[in-house]
């Protein structure tokens, strides 16, 4: 019995110790498992990409293409009210990402500038720019940096622009003289401004101008040609959304662009050949932009060459990119002031004070014309020349606004919507130049509430030239003439027509009346 009792008590003691150990072991096991599970979740969350931006539900294969509105800037602005300041659209086989707030624009154009410094040129742009080798569409890299340097330092820097002021002055005076001959008759302002800027740019490029009786007919032809090119550049093309279908050119965009491109290319070839023959004959040197480009081509580093195709691509940028944008800005300014005569009167009073009615406007007057500068800035706020800028294309996947933006996406910055955001601008749809009568706003792209020329590495290289040309042209028109709408017209139609360049849907017709004291100032 004693031995059985000892055995029973030994078992009882062991059993009690086991019962005490089991919960402890279970607790430790669960704690270890929880730690491993938490570490796995943490690792998974770190490795998992952020979601894509929100956006409307796409259709199979077609994506959101069937729902695109031709006026993309307003269509995108309306979608932003539903989906927020960053959203996506499935554009066939490509993804489009649209941003429309200053903070997100800053992320794209400044904080991650290098990543977004590339382009995804549409087929129309590749055709029009010799394979996309111009400054607008060329990929970011050594070749692009060379082109940028050529444009900014040699062609469009202050010293170069000062050197060819005589060309600009001559073209503006010819325009004023021509409009004087049309006094009391309706003038197509946009057409005349296009021809003026075209003459001005080609004169600075190679000294060639359009003169005499050909002014109207050739001006209209050139405007149609460049207008069709810019329209094709902004036209949605199935071949861009479905690259596998590009060889079929279903909409004929590539075919049409090749025809337009060929006509301009022939002009460039004839001008260059003429210049080379002149130089070969030892004639008097003409130091225009083409002279500098050909000189730089011969001196270029073999590692980063500047070829004849690059020269022609830069000429194409100047002729196509500079004419429509600048002339449209002047037309918008005139249209806005025609509907707001008080603003026109204030500009003319400033011109009379600074220039005088017995004198003509010179570029040297421009720094003193503060109200005219405010008018130009307000026009560029309401009607930025490129309302979506030129689309950016990230070179690697990245994150914007907490959302994933894949490599190769086409990123649009809706500067038009930002410039009309009521949380930024008071009465944003009202033309009110007074809001710019301080030194806060400029064109350097550092303030993402106002950046009509873009920002970052890809900011417009021609900002300085555009600023001079618009102010000089606009000042000369308003100083030389009073302007009114034609008989039977109540007010100017300010409706917009979207393209890669923002145009007036209805051409501006205005009647000029001379206002200077000496008629000799018009001759």
Residues 333-382: pLDDT tens digits?
999 999 999 999 999 999 999 999 999 999 999 999 999 999 999 999 99
The pLDDT value given to residue 159: 86
Question: pLDDT for 250-264, tens place per residue?
Answer: 999 999 999 999 988
Average pLDDT, the chain: 88
- Exposure on the CB side of residue 159, measured as CA atoms within 13 A: 5
Calpha distance 265→324 (Å, rounded) = 18
The answer to whether 245 and 237 have CB atoms below 8 angstroms apart is no
- Of 46-50, 66-70, 236-240, 357-361, minimum mean pLDDT range: 46-50
d(CA 257, CA 39): 57
Residue 294 DSSP label: H
pLDDT band at 282 (very low <50, low <70, confident <90, very high): low
Higher confidence at residue 49 or residue 102?
Answer: 102
Convert the pLDDT of each residue in 498-523 to its tens digit.
Answer: 878 899 999 999 999 999 989 999 98
Q: Higher-confidence residue: 61 or 275?
A: 61
Secondary-structure percent of the chain, ordered helix, strand, coil, rounded to 5: 60, 10, 35
CB 499 within 8 A of CB 230: yes
Task: Write out the two tokens for 155.
Answer: 């062609």
What was the pLDDT predicted at 217? 55
Lowest mean pLDDT among 172-181, 199-208, 342-351: 199-208
Measured distance CA(228)–CA(234) in Å, rounded = 10
Q: In the prediction, which pLDDT does 212 show?
A: 47
Q: Which two tokens stand for residue 386?
A: 């490129």
Considering only residues 415 and 265, tell me which one the structure prediction assigns the higher pLDDT: 415
* pLDDT tens digits along 489-502: 989 999 999 878 89
pLDDT bin (cut points 50, 70, 90) of residue 271 is confident
390: left (phi over 0), alpha (psi -120 to 50) or beta: beta
Q: What is the pLDDT of residue 210?
A: 44
Q: What is the dihedral of CA 157, 160, 164, 169, to 10 degrees?
A: 30
Does the pLDDT value for residue 244 go beyond 60? Answer: yes
Contact 409, 400 (CB under 8 A): no
**pLDDT band, very low/low/confident/very high, at 11 (cuts 50, 70, 90):** very low
| DSSP E strand stretches across 37-91 | 86-91
pLDDT at 90 over 60: yes
Q: Token pair for residue 472?
A: 């000089």
Entry pTM:
0.87
User: For residues 138 and 149, is the Cβ–Cβ distance under 8 A?
Assistant: no
Q: H-helix or E-strand containing 99?
A: strand 94-99
The token pair at 165 is 């002021």
CA 221 to chain centre: 25
Instruction: Give the pLDDT of residue 284.
Output: 54
- pLDDT value for 211: 47
* Top-ranked range on mean pLDDT: pick from 86-90, 197-201, 308-312: 86-90
Tell me, what's the pLDDT at 215?
47
Q: Torsion-angle region of residue 96: left (phi > 0), alpha (psi -120 to 50) or beta?
A: beta
Q: Look at 12-26, 145-159, 162-176, 339-353 and tell me which has the smallest mean pLDDT.
A: 12-26
Cα pseudo-dihedral 441, 444, 446, 448, rounded to 10: 60
pLDDT tens figures, 420-432: 999 999 999 999 9
pLDDT at 325: 93
């Amino acid at each position: 019995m004693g031995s059985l009792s000892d055995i029973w008590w030994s078992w009882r003691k062991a059993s009690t110790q086991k019962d005490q150990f089991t919960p402890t072991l279970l607790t430790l096991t669960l704690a270890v498992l929880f730690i491993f599970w938490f570490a796995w979740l943490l690792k998974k969350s770190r490795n998992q990409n952020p979601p894509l931006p929100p956006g409307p539900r796409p259709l199979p294969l077609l994506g959101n293409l069937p729902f695109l509105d031709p006026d993309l800037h307003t269509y995108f602005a309306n979608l932003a009210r539903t989906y927020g300041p960053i959203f996506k659209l499935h554009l066939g086989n490509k993804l489009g990402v649209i941003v429309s707030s200053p903070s997100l624009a800053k992320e794209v154009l400044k904080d991650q500038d290098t990543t977004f410094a590339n382009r995804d040129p549409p087929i129309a742009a590749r055709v029009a720019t010799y394979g996309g080798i111009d400054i607008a569409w060329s990929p970011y890299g050594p070749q692009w940096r060379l082109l940028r340097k050529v444009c900014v330092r040699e062609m469009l820097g202050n010293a170069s622009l000062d050197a060819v002021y005589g060309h600009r002055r001559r073209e503006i005076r010819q325009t004023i003289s021509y409009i004087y001959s049309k006094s009391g008759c309706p003038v197509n302002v946009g057409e005349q401004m296009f021809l003026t800027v075209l003459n001005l740019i080609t004169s600075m490029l190679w000294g060639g101008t359009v003169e005499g009786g050909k002014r109207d007919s050739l001006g209209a032809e050139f405007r149609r040609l460049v207008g069709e090119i810019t329209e094709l550049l902004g036209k949605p093309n199935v071949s861009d959304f479905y690259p596998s279908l590009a060889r079929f050119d279903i909409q004929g965009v590539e075919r049409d662009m090749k025809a337009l491109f060929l006509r301009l290319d022939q002009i460039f070839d004839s001008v260059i050949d003429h210049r080379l023959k002149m130089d070969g004959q030892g004639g008097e040197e003409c130091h225009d932009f083409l002279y500098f480009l050909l000189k730089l081509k011969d001196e270029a580093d073999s590692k980063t060459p500047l070829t004849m195709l690059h020269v022609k691509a830069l000429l194409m940028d100047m002729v196509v990119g500079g004419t429509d944008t600048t002339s449209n800005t002047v037309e918008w300014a005139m249209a806005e002031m025609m509907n707001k005569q008080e603003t026109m009167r204030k500009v003319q009073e400033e011109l009379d004070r600074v220039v005088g009615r017995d004198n003509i406007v010179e570029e040297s007057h421009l720094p003193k014309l503060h109200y005219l500068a405010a008018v130009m800035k307000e026009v560029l706020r309401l009607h930025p020349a490129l309302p979506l800028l030129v689309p950016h294309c990230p070179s690697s996947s990245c994150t914007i606004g907490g959302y994933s933006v894949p490599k190769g996406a086409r990123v649009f910055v809706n500067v038009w919507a930002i410039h009309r955001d009521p949380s930024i601008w008071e009465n944003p749809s009202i033309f009110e130049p007074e809001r710019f009568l301080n030194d806060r706003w400029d064109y350097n792209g550092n303030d993402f509430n106002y950046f009509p020329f873009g920002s970052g590495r890809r900011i417009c290289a021609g900002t300085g030239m555009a600023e001079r040309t618009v102010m000089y042209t606009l000042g000369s028109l308003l100083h030389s003439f009073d302007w009114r709408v034609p008989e039977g017209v109540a007010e100017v139609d300010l409706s917009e027509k979207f393209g890669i360049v923002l145009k007036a849907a209805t051409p501006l017709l205005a009647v000029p009346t001379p206002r200077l004291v000496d008629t000799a100032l018009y001759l």
